[in-house]
Structure 1
Amino acid sequence: MKTSDELLHIDIKVDESKARTSVLDLLRTLRPHWRPEDVRMKASSLLFGTFTEGITNQLLGCSVDESDCVLVRVYGQRTELFLDRQREVEMFRLLHANGRGPQIYCSFRNGICYQFVPGDVLEDKLLRQPSVYRLIAAEMARIHSIPPPSAHPPERLLWSKLSRFLTLLEDSGELAGQSSASDPQLPALARLSTEAESLERHLSPLGSPTVLCHNDLLTKNIIYDCQQETVKFIDYEYAEYNYQAFDIGNHFNEFAGVQDIDYGCYPSRRLQNDWLEAYLLSYKHCTGQDVAITRDEVTRLYVQVCKFSLASNFFWGLWAILQSQYSSIDFDFRRYAVARLNRYFEKKEEYFLLK
């Protein structure tokens, strides 16, 4: 029997080969008034789907009418190696309690069920529209202003995750030589470890605040309601306390896309400045500060964001190498890893020199 503070757990494993039967078993508990024969299920594709654009899970939307929809997310193969699923549930509940995320209904053996967020997945082209990107900046600031649930300073996600990724790569033996045997474009593990140390030495002293971050804000994790002129974020797998500038720099990197990465789409300095001004106005308002914005504040944040965008590319480069080994999803993770790491090395010297 669960207490009021515990999340309902249903001891069921969703078998993808007979998903409907497994999911109906979940819904008998979550929606007992739904007749099984009336339940409609709509699955996302393995890569870019109806309900989410993630590339590590499968998602199924379940409903009997438009008034209620339950999302069933089945975790990707071996993603528990580098994702803390219990922590994900805690972040889901914290965000929902602060009005910034959907309600989570239950966990099951290999996934979770949660509330559907109505609206349309954001189109890439809208990232450059001021009326839209200012909404995104303001919403990110609202999430960043959510205080930690305890008085203890939260640990930042970045360095512990990079350390975990490097350990997993070392255990796999994949990049032990001078270059990857299967892809000479990937650096050796020793070089990647050296780069991680270099990043930590350079970025840690910058003074970027520790805030609650989404950490994976690509366009397909943004739901846009053009009628209400609102945006909401979804897919909080990587949500955790982290550097403020990492979350922003990571989002700017996502302007380049996922399927066919094009860093020619990276936001211009002018767009970044406008985005950062909108962010700072919202962040200061949410944290009870004087909302006046100075040019120096924008410039300081811009420099921090550039530098932490390096960490974002490095982070997802390592992540993609691991996914190429473990994931059963049909996506060219190797090519993605090469693109992200190439961008890191291309911009490292320029961004390290920024003052």
Structure 2
Amino acid sequence: MGNAPDFVWPLGDQLVDGPPPLAAVGVGDLRAANAAAVLGAIRAADLPPRVATLAEATGLSRPTVDVIVDDLIGSGLVEEAAAPPARGLRSPGRPARLFRFRPSAGFVLSVDVRSRMIRAGLADLDGRVVAGRQRAVRAGAGGRARAGAVVAAVNSALEQAGVPAERVCAATVGTPGVVDPDNARIRQADNLEGWADADVAGVLGAALGCPVAVENDANLAALGEHWQGAGTTVREMMFILLGERLGAGIITGGRLLRGHHGAAGEIGFIHFPLPASAGGGSDLPGLRWAGREADVIAAAAAGAPEAVAVLESIGRRLAEGVAPVLLALDPALVVVGTGLFADPALAAAAELVRGAAERQARSLLVDPPEWQLSRLADDAILTGGFRFGLAAVERILSTRPTSLF
């Protein structure tokens, strides 16, 4: 469908409460609305429905439903389902046609851009992940080279799944830095050389022929955790991305908070307190380590006292730095996620940071939130990218489904 001008990213700043208003209802509009109603009834049914069931659910005539179902089958969104085995006497005549949604009719792509690696994943229209690939990239690679690595990782994921590019309905690129409110460009990415000038949305859109959004990686991690991770039961939460950079994604009222400039959650610019061993105070933004993070984490997981003290200090300093943000937002939950603890053997080290942060927050806040480690671990950003893209596709499916292809 290309980069259609009316394509909307509902989980970005393009707030959408329902279908776009229509000044007049033409035949095409009515047909699209009826197709959306029939498709919605098929997807909502516990068992594959027949035409009569769909007519009753939508209020449309059976001949109209017959025509619409054939259109949906032609688009690939619906297929006929096999009838269950007959019991007892079989009625004469042709068996009733049964229908079901085809989630493999289309796909969404999610990309996680990091300084040394690109990860790409592919999911069907039900959100089931069908492929995943990663590609190494030099930390100092320029923007054009990094954008090329994104395209290569995406093509590899498509090849793995055997899916042609024209079946991709939308793609989301999770990236460090500040993203413009329209989710089209990266405005600032200090840790990736030339990345803000690379126009990765345009490059990937040209390769795929579908709409592409860019979104801050911590924001996507928050969406992913709220959708399928630790935050599924809350409406107010913060996801803290603790790794090669520091950032946060904020969910408030069940929605992603991006801020006026798209920079909400950029906690890496906070001047965090330095540990007492470094003289206290705070002179530089960010939660800075003493270096050699991997060695410290491994030692802490093994119980080395000095390494344990370092990670607990990180947790306390994290809580102290974000305490004013937590006072302002009053979240129910703070989720800490990081690729630094991706190995399950390092779980004890991650718990040191989380536990120290939660204890420190309790001493600073009137109503302290619960602190949890990410349940999605290294997949939080990719999962959020799937959620971001699927929300846009769902809007098409609920208004004009046959236009998706």
TM-score, scaled to structure 1 = 0.25
Rg (Cα) greater in structure? 2
TM-score, scaled to structure 2 = 0.22
